[in-house]
Structure 1
Amino acid sequence: MNLKPLGDRVVIKLVEAEEKTKSGIVLPSSAKEQPQMAEVVAIGADILNDEKKKDQIKVNDRVIFSKYAGTEVKIDGEEYTILKLNDILAVVE
């Protein structure tokens, strides 16, 4: 299934958090924080048509987003988050 965000929305898929600390301690799933890094899956038409915004973000970019931003949805067993472009804080290069 294809997700097509409307307006200035972006669809992201969360990147799995590390299961070990740097010192090698394995973290149980209850101790892990929700990751704030994700991969861009789709971009809304308002962003793609805006000359200033379209160069800021692309599909497959890794981004960092606000902690409580967006709406989580589950489609075909995959979990996605739909959020506004303003909720994306940085692109990881």
Structure 2
Amino acid sequence: MAKRLIPTLNRVLIEKIVPPSKTTAGILLPETSTKLNSGKVVAVGPGLLSKEGNSIPVAVKEGDTVLLPEYGGTQVKLGDKEYHLYRDEDILGTLHE
């Protein structure tokens, strides 16, 4: 049975993107050139409530590619896949091509 995690409050579930360690021609790339801490948003929480009771939605949506801080997040394992939970304010930005 597959498990699905729906984050609470302003948390975001991210699947980290692992860059290739070698080119299509088979040339091995140094670890420093492949290090871009990014991930794909898998699920988002509903957001927070302000003191006045107004909803503050999460800034990213499912499917977005985001830039992550070097440290932080909570590692979560669901089945054989590994994910990370971040708070919305910890995500540095979205990446667009």
TM-score, length basis structure 1: 0.76
> Percent of aligned pairs with the same residue?
33
How far apart in 2 are the matches of 1:3 and 1:34? 27
Cα distance in 1 for partners of 2:91, 2:4 equals 21
1:84 aligns with 2:74: no
Quote the residue 1:66 is aligned against. 69
Any gaps of 5 or more consecutive residues in structure 1?
none
Larger Rg: 2
Q: Counterpart of 2:52? A: none
C-alpha distance in 2, partners of 1:34/1:6?
29
Q: CA RMSD in A?
A: 2.3
Q: Matched residue pairs, number?
A: 85
Q: TM-score, normalised by structure 2?
A: 0.74
Distance 1:60 1:44 in 2: 14
Q: Does 1:13 align with 2:15?
A: yes
